[in-house]
Amino acid sequence: MSNVLGFDYGTAKIGVAIGQTLINTARPLKTLRAVQQKPDWNAIGRLIEEWQPEALIVGVPFNMDDSEAEVAPRAKRFARQLEGRYHLPVFLVDERLTSRMAKTELGRAPKKIEELDAIAAKLILETWLSER
């Protein structure tokens, strides 16, 4: 089975999901906290080592008027850093509305709020899997 990792980039947290290209499925993995306002590269490296993905998918936030959201340049920089560090192909996906859909999927259980970013990453992966 060919794995891909999906990322919902944020400056404080990054949601991560795993997907399988052969059966076109995705599931949330975890949410990583930033370390001194930077991605937790050690944790990301461990996930890449564990799952051996063939590609990495990063969500890029857009506004409803098709303009890039304020954090979009940082998400793109994160994608370039992933590619440079891990030498894997990185694909960008429009993540518009994924956070809202993740909240709907999660419900209102406060104990699960940490899962929100990982669910958004799963939705980003599902978008990529359905569009490829």
Blockwise average pLDDT, block size 10, the chain, 132 residues: 91 94 94 91 97 96 82 94 97 78 60 76 93 84
- By the 10 Å C-beta count (0-12 exposed, 13-18 middle, 19+ buried), 128 is classed as buried
55: left (phi over 0), alpha (psi -120 to 50) or beta: beta
Architecture of the domain spanning 3-131: 2-Layer Sandwich (3.30)
Domains in the chain: boundaries: 3-131
Instruction: Look at residue 105 in the predicted model and tell me its pLDDT.
Output: 67
Please tell me the predicted confidence (pLDDT) of residue 112.
61
pTM of the model: 0.88
**Pairing verdict, β 25-33 and 13-20:** antiparallel
Cα–Cα distance for residue pair 131/113, rounded to 1 Å: 28
